[in-house]
Amino acid sequence: MPAAFPPPAHGRPPALPNPPDRAGPPRVERGLVQRNLAWARANLFAGPWNTLLTLLVVALLLWTVPALLDWAVFDATLAPADIGLCMERGGACWAMLQDTWRMILFGPYPPAEHWRPALAVGLFALLVVISLVPAMWLTAGRRRLLLAVWPPTLLVLAVLMHGGVAGLPVVETRLWGGLPLTVILASVGIAFAFLLSLVLALGRQSSMPVVRIVCIAYIELMRGVPLITLLLMASILLPLTLPADVTIHPYLRAQLAFILFFAAYMAEAVRGGLQAIPRGQYAAAKAMGLSYWQSMTRVILPQVLRMIIPSMVNIFISAFKDTSLVIVISMLDLLGTAKAATSNPQWWGLFIEPFAFISAIYLVVCSAMSWYSRLLERRYGTAGAHD
């Protein structure tokens, strides 16, 4: 089983080892300073080699951290200013972000209406966070409530973004960009790819040879080519494969490429879970008189999904990061708007600041996802396998 079930790639920071004197003879109570000294001796200065390493790292930190702080804080230009003052002070030009952050976050969306995508992303994030709290889905009633809340909320968010009702001016989808576009591409992509992956994984395990071969061929083909090929296909090849009078919105084409691509990777994760379920579970479900679909949805898949939380979340994280690839087919997601900000003539030559800004967004979202996956895994992950 361990082979089918690699340890999660996201390790947690190493726990502090026990103080070395723990196993020793009981002594009188010692103060905070002594305990800390003992910890430092065991973890920083254990032997000459270890001490040398510590000194090396300290030297490295002394060399880099002050320079970084100088750049980011002490020499930085915070107040509204122009690029000349920034260049003079030599540090980070946060003034540029004050000027461009709304453009980076919302792209070409009309500035007067920026509150709408901001509210939409905020509401979406709130709904996601609420849905992720375990207490919200541990009972069937609350699960039904969540399922009932999601579709109308999504509809409201879409209306909020698009407008056209209640006096909101219409904002065409080609003006959507920045963070909302990244969030839409990632969340819609993940949701549909997940559903498709369940079908593909079950198909790959099917006893019907044609179904199995089709699913294997699809999964291996998708996993064998880079995502960029799929995006290029969606933007160059897809129009060629449709009748001349049919056109598909560029956003939908990119979205389709993401769904088709990540479904293959998710299907492999699901397959890993399916193979790790003991045969007895399948047999028991059959003995209960459950049909194939009943036994899958009631018995097998719930256990599989618990098992594959870590690998699934890793795929979610890479899907979120890989939405940035749409800049290759000239769509303006978060990375696209940041890149556009670097070619702003008013702030010519500054690129570290916008890149640092969106890096922080990606870092926070991805770290939060992996932190949540570790939490789920600790609480519920392996419990299913032993029930």
Nearer to other proteins, 151 or 207 (CB): 207
CB of 182 to other proteins, least distance (A): 10
Does position 322 bind other proteins by CB under 8 A? yes
Pick left, alpha or beta for residue 90 (phi over 0 → left; psi -120 to 50 → alpha; otherwise beta). left
Does position 355 bind other proteins by CB under 8 A? yes
Residue 42 vs residues 50, 59, 154: alpha-carbon distances, Å: 10, 20, 54
Does position 227 bind other proteins by CB under 8 A? yes
Does position 38 bind other proteins by CB under 8 A? no
Residue 75 vs residues 66, 92, 95, 342: alpha-carbon distances, Å: 11, 7, 12, 21
CB of 60 to other proteins, least distance (A): 8
CB of 370 to other proteins, least distance (A): 8
CB of 143 to other proteins, least distance (A): 30
Does position 173 bind other proteins by CB under 8 A? no
Half-sphere exposure of 283 (CA within 13 A, CB side): 3
Half-sphere exposure of 339 (CA within 13 A, CB side): 13
Of the ranges 50-58, 95-103, 134-142, 168-176, which one interacts with other proteins (CB under 8 A)?
A: 50-58
Tokens of 288: 């209960």
CB of 25 to other proteins, least distance (A): 24
Phi and psi (nearest 5°) for 178?
70, -145
CB of 320 to other proteins, least distance (A): 8
Q: What are the helix (H) ranges across the chain? A: 32-43, 47-69, 83-89, 94-106, 115-132, 140-162, 179-204, 209-224, 227-232, 238-240, 250-276, 279-287, 292-295, 301-307, 309-322, 334-342, 352-376, 383-386
The position carrying tokens 């160059």 is 236
Does position 351 bind other proteins by CB under 8 A? yes
Does position 57 bind other proteins by CB under 8 A? yes
Does position 6 bind other proteins by CB under 8 A? yes
Does position 247 bind other proteins by CB under 8 A? no
In contact, 381 and 307? CB cutoff 8 Å: yes
Does position 69 bind other proteins by CB under 8 A? no
Nearer to other proteins, 150 or 292 (CB): 292
How far apart (Å, rounded) are the C-alpha atoms in residues 240 and 22?
72
In contact, 20 and 38? CB cutoff 8 Å: yes
Site residues for other proteins, 180-209, by CB under 8 A, read 207-209
Supply the DSSP string of 350-362, one letter for each residue. Answer: --HHHHHHHHHHH
Does position 344 bind other proteins by CB under 8 A? no
Answer for which of 139, 294, 359, 382 binds other proteins (CB under 8 A) is 359
The position carrying tokens 């294997």 is 216
Answer for which of 25, 210, 279, 289 binds other proteins (CB under 8 A) is 210
Answer for which of 105, 219, 335, 340 binds other proteins (CB under 8 A) is 335
Does position 363 bind other proteins by CB under 8 A? yes
Q: Which residues bind other proteins (CB under 8 A)?
A: 2, 6-7, 9-11, 13-14, 16-17, 43-44, 46, 50, 53-54, 57-58, 60-61, 207-211, 214, 221, 223-229, 232-233, 236-237, 240-244, 317, 321-322, 324-325, 327-328, 335, 338-339, 342, 349, 351-352, 355, 358-359, 362-363, 366-367, 370
